[in-house]
Each structure stands twice: as structure tokens, then as C-alpha cells.
Structure 1
Amino acid sequence: MALIDHLGLTVEDVPSAIAQWDPVLTALGYIRHDAEVGVSWSNGTQTELILRPPREPGTGPHVHGRVGWQHLAFDIASPEEVDRLHGIALDAGWIAVRDPKLYPRFNDRYYASFVEDANGIRIEFAYNPPRDAH
């Protein structure tokens, strides 16, 4: 059973957000489902991600570090895949917050990158294998 069934995010401009999110989520194996007032991605076994327009346009972008959203980390299979996904995100218009690198402050195996979209929504690509898998 997935820990989270779905994650809904409000974005200022759904078509622009699709242009940023779709290449990344497609590369992660998710399939896009367009709806009348938004869009979602799913892969059948994990959390569905939903983007919807704001109730009050002009209220974004989100500012990292304020109360609310912090970031979503995707569990990635290898450092090379972190690098690949980071590049896909940058090509889709995401901004690099932290380039791919080791994060020994988390543990000696933790390799990750952080990117942020035009709405201030931050995601992480994280390779964090169990201690005995390293």
C-alpha cells in the first residue's frame, strides 16, 4: 500500500506547469491524464500527482521556507538516474536549486539534486540506498 494516495498542487498556469512537469513525470514512468480543470499523472502503483488552477489567480508563486510546501523527494534508483532526471527537468524549464551531488550530512550514500518550477514548487531526485546495498 502506498503511503500517500495522491498529492494535489495548485499552480498559477496549468498549461505552463504541464510543460514543466510532464517531461519529468513521464521520465519517472508516470502517465498523464488530462481533465477539464487540471491534469494528473499516475503509474498505477504509486502516488498520483494532480495539478489544478488556483481559486484566486495571482496568489503565487510559493516561497520555499515559508509555512506550507517544502519539497517532494522522488526515490531514484541510481546516481546516474538522478543526473539524467536533473537534466530533463532543466531542459523543461525547472531551475536548479542544488545540482546533483553527495549529501554526507544526510548519510554517506545520499546522492540528490533539487529543482524548482515556475510556481516555486520544489522537488528532489534522491538516491538513498540501504546501508547494506552500498
Structure 2
Amino acid sequence: MATTTLKILREINDRTQEEIANVLGISQNTYSRLERNPKNLTSEQAQKLADFYNVNIADLLTEGTPSITFNDTKVENNAYVGSIENDNHISASAAENATLKDEIAYLRKQNEELLKMINTRLNG
């Protein structure tokens, strides 16, 4: 079964079916059915969803794989196209990880030295 644009938009925006159902003023079960078969959306529901997700109604109702752009990241034909922002975030995370590894190594060495000092005092 193909994933609908409605489901993709909901998941990209980290929303539950219940949250979107509340936006539309319908039950979660009714929204679930709409997500599986978006052709049953009323024009009012389509407009509410387009406004909520900040997309064009035509894009919302297009059949097939959607092309959705957000921040500098694009999801197209189920393939992820990364952005410079993500690369910078990865680089920053890698630098932070290296710093934390160095700190762990330093603390381990310090713990060993403290244990030696304790053993010396207890045995000495």
C-alpha cells in the first residue's frame, strides 16, 4: 500500500492522527480513513490541512510520491537529499564527541590515580 501525502506530512511534522483529527474536528478513526483514502477529503478539510501544514492544496491532493521541502532539506521520491545545515550539525556533533572522549579518558586516568592514592594510604 502506498503511503499517502497526508501520512507523510503528518509524520514529517511529528504529529499523531489524533492531533490532526482535532485540527479537522473529526475523530481519529475518521482521520485514519481519510489518510488511507484522501479522495474523501472535503474541500474545507483540505483547506484546513493545507493551512496547517503550510502547503498548497494542489500539492496536498497530488497522487503519487510527494516532493516536500522544509528548511534546507528535501524529501523526493522517497530519497533524502541532505543539506549543508545537516552536514554542519554532523561536524559539530563529531567535534563534541571527540571532546567528550578526551574528557572521559582524562577522568579515567584521574580515577586510577585516586585509587592508587587511596590504596597507598590504606596499606601504608
Q: Under TM normalisation by the shorter chain, which class is it?
A: under 0.3
More strand by share: 1
More helix by share: 2
Q: What is the TM-score normalised by the length of structure 2?
A: 0.27
Q: Which has the higher contact order (CA 8 A, sep 6+)?
A: 1
Largest Rg, 1 or 2: 2
